[in-house]
Structures are given as structure tokens and as C-alpha cells.
Amino acid sequence: MNTLNQGLVIHQNTETQDFSIELEFGKIKILSAPAPIDDRVNQDACGARLFNNMLLLCLADGMGGHKKGEEAAHIVMDELIFNWKPNEVPNLEKVLDRIENAHNQIKDLKSRSGSTAVVAIVEYDKVRFINVGDSTGYIFSSQKNLKFKTIEQSPTGFAVEAGILEEEEAMIHEESHYLLNSLGFDPLRIELSNTLELSSKDLILLASDGLTSNILQEDFAELLTQRADSTPLQSISTKAREKMLKDGHPDDLSLILFYQ
């Protein structure tokens, strides 16, 4: 198994996988679960890599059918987690170049596949988010308050951001599964946040839409910030799976949590 300095990834799993790592400047928890569908292979991929004192977190949600979606998400992980030269330290420009490389490689598959991508670049008490598609990045305070959220690049995501739809309405909207932006399809639009300051006990969360399609933000923030719960991602995954099996949207679910 690779170390965090070499890059750690969960992908193409048929059962829920998770791991937790403690660093000098924080803790990482990652969980990825395939949709509760018979013989499902996870098309999400999520990973982390440590470069000196910089942490790169990346989550991708592959689309385009079974093998096609897997391959698209795999390309994202290769570009952003694995294919760095020894002693190479990413900067913002290099990460953006890698995202464009992944976009072009997915296009070259000529299979109509695609992938979302959400990236967090963490350096001590600062973070910057990059996103394409409807996978999301968040900062929550330890008191469950939302401090930052990337915008989901979908009709319902923009409608919620504009106040046209409530979050509950977006979850059941007929266009909830549509995307307006994806790696592998032109024109590509990469959204970039400002550099954001992290306060003590802030939580960074990256999530695929298996979360936002099934659990309200208020509810998963509650689970995320329960300090007595040492396995918050498992608690969220269990709640999402219950919703999927009842009356929700069965989908792969991936979560990356970082906190200090």
C-alpha cells in the first residue's frame, strides 16, 4: 500500500472503504461507497497526497456508464494524485494544468465519458478550492455553521445559489441529475476560490453528489460536527444509504474530511 507521501486513493471498490490518517497539522478521513445496486463498481474516486507541508485532496465522480465512468475518474486521480515527479511540489498553476490534462485525456477516450472534480489545496491554516461539476467543497465551523461552499455547476445548483429553489426542492427536481460542466466536455469551466483562512477546529469536506442528493446540508453538518462521534463519515454514509434505499437517489458516495 502507498503512503500519503506517494498518494492514497480509493477507487473501483465494490464495498465501502475508508481510512483515517493523522498528520502533524491535522487529520484526514476518507470514505467511498458504491451505490446500493447489485454488482455495482464504484465510479467515484477520491484521494490525498502530502507534499512537504502541503496537502492535496481530490474527489472525482465519473460519468458515462460502468467502465467509462470508472476510467474517467481514474484519469483524474492519476493526474492529480499520482503522476508527480519525485520532490516536485504542486503549485496552483500546476494543479490547474493537471486538471486540463485530465480533461483532454478524457476527451481523447472518445467514449462520451466525463468526470467531476473538486480539489482542496491545504497549507497549514489556509485552503483553496478548485471545482468542475457538481461535486462540492465545504468549510464548516465546529458549531455547524457553513463558512464556505463551492457552487454546484448544475441547473439546480445555480437555482439554489440564486434563491430560486430551496435545497429540499432541488433534491427532487426533474433536472437534479443534469450537469452544466464536466471534465471531458467542452467548453471546460474551472472554478477557483480565493485563498481562505481556516480557524481552529474548522472542517473541510469534499463530497460527491451521492451526499447532496440524499441528505440536507443541515443534517450532514450535524453528523459531521458531533465530537463524540469518532466515525462521522460512516454515520453520514449510513444515513445516506438508508435514504437511497427508501425514497432517495441511489448513487456512489464519496467523502473526504480534513480538520485540525
Domain boundaries, the chain: 8-259
Burial class (CB in 10 A: 0-12, 13-18, 19+), 143: exposed
Cα–Cα distance for residue pair 214/110, rounded to 1 Å: 32
- Comparing CA positions, the residue from 28, 33, 31 lying closest to residue 12 is 33
Q: b/e per residue, 217-237, with b = 16+ CB within 10 A?
A: beebbebbbeeeeeebbbbbb
In this structure, are residues 189 and 153 in contact, taking their beta carbons and an 8 Å threshold?
yes
230 band by pLDDT with thresholds 50, 70 and 90? confident
Does the reported pTM lie above 0.85? Answer: yes
Q: Which CATH number fits domain 8-259: 3.40.50.11540, 3.60.40.10, 1.20.120.530, 3.90.1150.10?
A: 3.60.40.10
**Cα-Cα-Cα-Cα dihedral sign, residues 82, 203, 123, 5:** negative
For helices 232-246 and 217-224, what crossing angle results, to 10°?
150
> Which residues have CB under 8 Å from 174's CB, separation 6+?
none
Q: Residue 194, SS3?
A: coil
* DSSP for residue 78: I
pLDDT digits (tens, 9 = 90+) for 34-79: 999 998 999 999 999 999 889 999 999 999 765 789 999 999 999 9
